[in-house]
């Protein structure tokens, strides 16, 4: 019997969100989190994104962040959204201290 992770409900060309696979979570998911606390953090030089596509990727990511920010601001919850671009690669700046401080602030 196949487990839930072995079943395909859609073929691999189907897209759930209009922005495609990058950014993977997309602004619609972030909008659903509002007004709860959220921290969006990315490295400027994410090695998971090909070098030739990084500028476009960052622009697309920022557009998504801006859309999420508008929802938070509209709910008067802008103070609960942290949005950081960090120098470095994937998960750059996501240190034990930074994560612990964020959780201590909100939870």
- Looking at residue 58, the DSSP 8-state letter turns out to be H
pLDDT above 70: residue 16: no
**pLDDT tens-place string over residues 35-70:** 999 998 888 887 778 888 888 988 988 999 999 999
Non-local CB neighbours of 19 within 8 Å, separated by 6+ positions: 26, 27, 60, 64
What is the per-residue pLDDT for 79?
A: 95
What is the per-residue pLDDT for 93?
A: 67
8 A C-beta contact, residue 16 and residue 8: no
pLDDT above 80: residue 24: no
8 A C-beta contact, residue 69 and residue 83: yes
8 A C-beta contact, residue 4 and residue 73: no
8 A C-beta contact, residue 34 and residue 77: yes
């Amino acid at each position: 019997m196949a487990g839930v992770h072995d079943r395909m409900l859609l073929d691999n060309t189907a897209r759930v969100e209009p922005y495609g696979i990058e950014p993977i979570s997309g602004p619609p998911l972030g909008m659903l989190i509002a007004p709860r606390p959220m921290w969006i953090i990315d490295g400027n030089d994410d090695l998971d994104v090909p070098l030739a596509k990084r500028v476009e990727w960052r622009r697309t990511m920022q557009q998504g962040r801006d859309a999420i920010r508008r929802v938070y601001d509209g709910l008067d919850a802008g103070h609960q959204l942290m949005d950081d671009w960090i120098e470095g690669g994937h998960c750059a700046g996501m240190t034990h201290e930074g994560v612990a401080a964020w959780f201590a602030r909100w939870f």
